[in-house]
Structures are given as C-alpha cells and as structure tokens.
Amino acid sequence: MRVIKDYQISKEQLLLEVERLVKEGARLGTAICIDEGEEFEVIYNFQKGLDSVNLRLRVKKEEEVPSISSILLGAVLAENEMREMTGLKVTGMVLDFGERMLLADESPRFPLLRVARQREVIK
C-alpha cells in the first residue's frame, strides 16, 4: 500500500530532515514554491519505494531558505526554478543561475507571484 506523509517543518529543520531522509534511502522527487500572499509555502517531495514524504515549510517572503543542493545536487534545478519564478530567497546553492535559468532577460520578473499574475490579467 502506498503511504503519503506530510511534515510541517521550520527552515531551521530543513537540512537535518533532508539528511535523515537521504540516509533512509529516499530520493528527491520535486520541490515547489507556492505564493500564499504574505508567505511562501515550500514543499520538498521525496520518494522512498512506493511511499511519498513531503517536507513543508512556510516562510515570510523576505526570509531566506537554505539550499539542500549541498546534500542533493539534483535540487539545484528545482531551487533555481523556485527562485526565478517566485523570488524565493534560496541561499547556498552549489550552482546559482542568477535568476536566468529559464527566463529570458526581457521576461517579467517572478511570473508566478500573485502580483505578477494580477498584472497580466489587468492588461
């Protein structure tokens, strides 16, 4: 039977929890950042066999979140994407694309922010 577990953690717990999951044999599935108004919800999804584990953290938009890329290099792509699309302040990435991994220079900044989406609707 497939099990899905959700854990609400703090940004201070993130690296320790990721290290624990990796030691248990879990692999990173994906990471997403959701604009929740005053805060971001960041979700790191891990797979272990048929089971799924989500590490969820909420941070104010001006807060920094530590990168997990020093533990899992594959996180570099997801973390750069979250930063580029929402402005999430991810610190300590082992490879930083400087907010130009996916978007062109003339692209709008942080297109997945609610404010950016509202601007597009008004046009």
pLDDT for res 51 = 93
pLDDT for res 13 = 98
pLDDT for res 121 = 45
pLDDT for res 25 = 96
pLDDT for res 102 = 64
Structure tokens at 11: 């940004």
Q: Look up residue 118 and give its DSSP letter.
A: H
**Which structural domain, as residue segments, surrounds residue 25?**
4-122
Q: Which residues of 56-72 are buried (b: 16+ CB within 10 A; e: fewer)?
A: ebbbeeeeebbbbbebb
Q: How many domains does the chain fold into?
A: 1
Q: Identify the segments of the chain with pLDDT beneath 50.
A: 121-123
CATH code of the domain containing 14: 3.30.460.80
What radius of gyration do the chain's Cα atoms show? 15
Beta strand 4-8 with 51-60 is: parallel
pLDDT for res 45 = 98
pLDDT for res 3 = 78
